[in-house]
Amino acid sequence: MDVIQQLTEWKKQHSGKELYCVIGDPIKQSKSPLMLNEAFKASSVDAIYAAFHVTPEQLSPFMEAARELGVAGMNVTIPHKLHVMDLIDEIHPDARALGAVNTVVNCKGKLIGYNTDGIGYVRSLKEEAIANIKDKQVVVVGAGGAARGIIYALLKEKPSAVHIVNRTREKAEELVISFESSVPLYAADQDQLQKLCEQADIVINTTSVGMFPHIDETPVQGEWLKIGAVASDLIYNPLKTRFLQDAEQYGGIAHGGLGMFIYQGAFAFEYWTGKQAPTKQMREIVLNALQS
Ligand code: ATR
């Protein structure tokens, strides 16, 4: 059965319920169905959420079918975050500026695209590690797509400065040029990393360094951090990377990547339902699944 037929069958099986889904390629490992179905249940929303494996060639017909079948909302993941923008009706200015949509809301037949990755990250950082980012000095390691989303959201919090350190300096420089902000934003060389970390209040790893199976690697030495500084890692496999473990050992506050996943989903849930997301239950169920 192809994916359009799967969607049609699924709609038939759950007629009467609001339908939500995540699309990506690959998608098998996604914890979004588990997390969002739990959120609907905990909030007594009569809705159901499933994952669909949609290849790039299937994206356009899938979106058409989703529109016809009245799918109420979608999460969009790799590799579709860019191309889906051509297949929806409206794009929130923040998602437009980032060039990526990860959440679609069906508003009375009109498909509207948002990006909840960066704001999800910042909400997680503020709720779990540091309540106020204003006037804080931030170092971001890495200059890829993930860094772009979180820096965009971080700049709105008015930190005192953001330094982007990347293996390939030109990419950090390109990122700096692409943002318009009153917050001082700098690109730096890898050899400046230690000094910048020694002065920073928040150090964020957006690279894959330390991700399973390379769990002994770290982008930043824990001893470089100030006591009380926040060490934040977008990686959530493992839940506590070597970077975070080292930082804690030297008096830092560890902030793991799971929160970003939970809160990007929380924003999607809130855009879809208008209700506050049950983040505690969402975290618990995902954490249990990751630990089992
Ligand atoms: P994502 O969308 O997850 O951010 P990406 O766009 O491929 O993924 O970006 C990955 C980032 O991690 C890049 O900044 C990359 O550095 P380069 O620009 O030099 O490629 C960084 N990165 C990945 N592996 C790295 C490693 N082993 N050491 C240092 N930086 C690394």
Residue 292's pLDDT is what?
85
User: Which residues have a Cβ under 8 Å from the Cβ of 201 and sit 6 or more positions away?
Assistant: 130, 136, 137, 138, 226, 229, 230
Is 20 a residue whose pLDDT tops 90? Answer: yes
Q: Is the CB of 279 under 6 A from ligand 1?
A: no
End-to-end CA distance of the chain: 31
Q: Is the CB of 189 under 6 A from ligand 1?
A: no
Residue 98's pLDDT is what?
94
Determine the distance separating the centroid of ligand 1 and the alpha carbon of 243, expressed in angstroms. 16
Is 181 a residue whose pLDDT tops 90? Answer: yes
Residue 1's pLDDT is what?
80
Rounded Cα–Cα distance for residues 45 and 42 (Å): 8
Percent of the chain with pLDDT over 70: 100
Rounded Cα–Cα distance for residues 179 and 187 (Å): 12
Over residues 30-53, the mean pLDDT reads 98
H or E element, residue 66: helix 59-69
- pLDDT tens, 109-141? 999 999 999 999 999 999 999 999 999 999 999
Over residues 210-216, the mean pLDDT reads 97
Q: If you count them, how many residues does the chain have? A: 292
Is 174 a residue whose pLDDT tops 90? Answer: yes
Determine the distance separating the centroid of ligand 1 and the alpha carbon of 174, expressed in angstroms. 14
Residue 201's pLDDT is what?
98
Residue 231's pLDDT is what?
98
Q: Is the CB of 142 under 6 A from ligand 1?
A: yes
Residue of the CA atom closest to atom 2 of ligand 1: 145
* Catalytic residue list contains 126: no
Q: Is the CB of 209 under 6 A from ligand 1?
A: yes
- The pTM assigned to this predicted structure is 0.96
Over residues 161-165, the mean pLDDT reads 98
Residue of the CA atom closest to atom 5 of ligand 1: 144
Rounded Cα–Cα distance for residues 252 and 146 (Å): 23
- pLDDT tens, 244-254? 999 999 999 99
Determine the distance separating the centroid of ligand 1 and the alpha carbon of 166, expressed in angstroms. 8
Q: Is the CB of 273 under 6 A from ligand 1?
A: no
Q: Is the CB of 206 under 6 A from ligand 1?
A: yes
What number does the ligand 1 atom closest to the CA of 167 have? 19
The active-site residue, picked from 12, 28, 41, 81, is 81
Tokens 């905990």 belong to 42
Classify residue 179 as left (phi > 0), alpha (psi -120 to 50) or beta.
beta
Q: Is the CB of 190 under 6 A from ligand 1?
A: no
Residue to mutate (ligand 1; options 121, 164, 208, 220; most atoms within 8 A of CB) = 208
Q: Is the distance from CB of 27 to CB of 77 less than 8 angstroms?
A: yes
Phi, psi dihedral angles at 117 (to 5 degrees): -65, -55
Residue of the CA atom closest to atom 27 of ligand 1: 209
Take residue 92 and report the two structure tokens written for it. 């929130």
Percent of the chain with pLDDT over 90: 99
- pLDDT grade for 209, boundaries at 50, 70 and 90: very high
Q: Using CB atoms within 10 A of its CB, is residue 212 exposed (0-12), middle (13-18) or buried (19+)? A: exposed
Determine the distance separating the centroid of ligand 1 and the alpha carbon of 156, expressed in angstroms. 24
Q: Is the CB of 143 under 6 A from ligand 1?
A: yes
- pLDDT tens, 149-158? 999 999 999 9
Residue 208's pLDDT is what?
97
User: Which residues have a Cβ under 8 Å from the Cβ of 100 and sit 6 or more positions away?
Assistant: 81, 82, 85, 115, 117, 145, 149
Phi, psi dihedral angles at 277 (to 5 degrees): -70, 140
- pLDDT grade for 50, boundaries at 50, 70 and 90: very high
- pLDDT grade for 261, boundaries at 50, 70 and 90: very high
The residue with greater pLDDT, 17 or 1, is 17
Q: Is the distance from CB of 141 to CB of 165 less than 8 angstroms?
A: yes
| Average pLDDT along the chain | 97
